[in-house]
Amino acid sequence: MSGGFSRPLAAHGECIAVLGAGPAGVMAALGLHRLGYPVQVISQWRRFDAIEGVSARVMQALAQQGLTHTLSMAVPAAEREVHWGEAPVVRNREFLIDRPQFDAALRADLAAGSVPLREARVRQLHRLDAGWDIELDDGSRIAASRIVDARGRQAPQSGAAQRGPETVSLLCRWRATPGAAASAVERRDDGWTWLARLPDGTCYWQWVTGAQLPGRAELPAWCAAARQASALARRFFPEDPGAAVTVHARSSTSTLSEEGFDGRLLRVGDAAMAVDPLSGNGIFQSLSSALQAPAVLHTLIRDPSREALALDFHRERVRHLFLRFARMGRDFYRQAPAVGSFWPPRQQWPDEAPLHYDPDPSQLRVAERPVLEHGEVVARQVVVTADQPLGVWHVDGVALAPLVAALPQQSLRQVLTEQVPQASWQAVGQWFLSQGVPLD
């Protein structure tokens, strides 16, 4: 992407409603507000309290968007213990976030950005000729020209979705003695667990499984028995309170929506694609789809003739991201033995395609694809590879398509010398070398 967003022309009479004030909804709302569009966020608080682990790149994305309140809520943890194979290992330092505090900080960043928030639950959406009539749970109504649906897994689905193996997460939370932040993950025959501690003594144990659950009243004791059966959990939580915990069961099934990609309704975050928590990229993928949504809507409003192009851009990138994270989760699952009923289906889903393809210079080709330019979706010549089916447009500001077109007649060294600014030789040359193109 190059350049900045162009301002809308008197907002074209638009008023955009963003449903949901999680990371995806806040990112989309702030992006649209910066473009000058009237935005109304509608959201209710989450009905359960969780702790989540996020990567450094999520923190970088939050910083780039200026979400200072939200950034302050992350707690760096020690390197995560991984008990997956025969011997435990230590990997990947992660940041821990307490979702109630994190969600409050997201709301504070909305307020700092002067984006209005209505605390309410959406009861029903009524499509009109020129927009939407949004019915809230208190009986009031809000009119909007377009909707960005960022309600996460709670967004209604008509059934038109691609789903992975049915998976449920049991979220257990309690308070113990304060101490150092820490996290760990452990494989079980019937699933896997993620363990976390915050400095204030908040403890969290998440059990991801495909097993048939007991009744709600029996869940705390059932989870307590599973923790006590784990040597890691007994060591990690020396003050395990037994059944005196808050337990919430929720779906963790991987889901790719096949709807919500039209000119009046755009899904982002988990409402568009929800990934298996084993990929460790839930919030990152939410931010990825939400960050592109303002450019997609901006294109639809400014130039309706590019509606199909803009929607294809959003849909294909959401699908590509979904498959990438699904395959990442599949490869993690394959590192465990294929035992019981939980593991084999997840080791085969979504397909047998590799997460990454080996470099093959014969596969480089030039094609027209939608890209972002000056904050709008346009069609440009890009270079498509087996690993990048959506295409690569620029490297270090240099368009790749003309260089690939010249390669059959010239060596890479000649192309770099004659068509690439010297300051970009290393970056562009390294990209071609990574694709298996020889220098001479």
The CATH code of the domain that includes 321 is 3.50.50.60
Average pLDDT, the chain: 91
11 pLDDT more than 90:
no
Place of tokens 């400014």: 302
Place of tokens 């929800």: 274
2 pLDDT more than 50:
no
Which SS3 state, helix, strand or coil, does residue 130 take? coil
141 pLDDT more than 90:
yes
Number of domains in the chain: 3
| Statement to judge: residues 264 and 320 lie in one domain | yes
Locate 139 and state its tokens.
Answer: 């009986």
| Statement to judge: residues 151 and 183 lie in one domain | no
Averaged over 108-129, what is the pLDDT? 95
CA distances from 385 to 212, 404, 423 (A): 43, 11, 25
Residue 96: enclosing H or E segment and its boundaries?
A: strand 89-98
Specify whether the CB–CB gap between 333 and 343 falls below 8 A: yes
Per cent of the chain over pLDDT 90 is 79
Residue 3 binned pLDDT confidence (cut-offs 50, 70, 90): very low
Can you point out the beta strands (E) in 158-293? 161-163, 168-175, 182-188, 191-197, 202-209, 246-251, 255-257, 265-267, 273-274
| Statement to judge: residues 185 and 205 lie in one domain | yes
Averaged over 360-376, what is the pLDDT? 95
* Residue 7: DSSP 8-state: P
What pLDDT was estimated at residue 280? 66
87 pLDDT more than 80:
no
Residue 313: enclosing H or E segment and its boundaries?
A: helix 307-333
CA distances from 70 to 58, 97, 100, 102, 280 (A): 11, 10, 11, 6, 19
Instruction: Identify whether 110 is part of a domain.
Output: no
Boundaries of domain holding 215: 168-251
Instruction: Identify whether 64 is part of a domain.
Output: no
Tens-place pLDDT, residues 311-328:
999 999 999 999 999 999
85 pLDDT more than 90:
no
| Statement to judge: residues 284 and 222 lie in one domain | no
Instruction: Identify whether 115 is part of a domain.
Output: no
Instruction: Identify whether 60 is part of a domain.
Output: no
| Statement to judge: residues 143 and 173 lie in one domain | no
127 pLDDT more than 90:
yes
Averaged over 169-185, what is the pLDDT? 95
| Statement to judge: residues 130 and 261 lie in one domain | yes
The structure's pTM equals 0.91
| Statement to judge: residues 27 and 150 lie in one domain | yes
Instruction: Identify whether 81 is part of a domain.
Output: no
What pLDDT was estimated at residue 286? 83
What pLDDT was estimated at residue 7? 40
Q: Which of 191, 226, 251 is the last residue of a domain?
A: 251
| Statement to judge: residues 368 and 258 lie in one domain | no
348 pLDDT more than 80:
yes
Q: What are 248's strand-pairing partners?
A: 171
Q: Which of 315, 348, 381 is the last residue of a domain?
A: 348
What pLDDT was estimated at residue 380? 97
| Statement to judge: residues 243 and 387 lie in one domain | no
Residue 77 binned pLDDT confidence (cut-offs 50, 70, 90): confident
10 pLDDT more than 70:
no
| Statement to judge: residues 343 and 260 lie in one domain | yes
| Statement to judge: residues 305 and 422 lie in one domain | no
What pLDDT was estimated at residue 12? 56
Averaged over 331-349, what is the pLDDT? 93
Tens-place pLDDT, residues 225-249:
999 999 999 999 999 898 889 999 9
| Statement to judge: residues 32 and 128 lie in one domain | yes
Q: How far, in Å, CA of 197 to CA of 182, rounded?
A: 5
Instruction: Identify whether 267 is part of a domain.
Output: yes
213 pLDDT more than 90:
yes
Greatest CA span in the chain, whole angstroms? 72
**264-288 burial, b for 16+ CB within 10 Å, e for fewer?**
ebbbbbbbbbbbbbbbbbbbbbbbb
Instruction: Identify whether 138 is part of a domain.
Output: yes
Instruction: Identify whether 93 is part of a domain.
Output: no
Averaged over 265-273, what is the pLDDT? 94
Averaged over 83-111, what is the pLDDT? 89
Q: How far, in Å, CA of 10 to CA of 12, rounded?
A: 5
Top pLDDT among 141 and 77 is at 141
> Which residues are within 8 A (CB) of 2 and not within 5 positions of it... i.e. 6 or more apart?
373, 374, 394, 397
Q: Which of 232, 251, 270 is the last residue of a domain?
A: 251
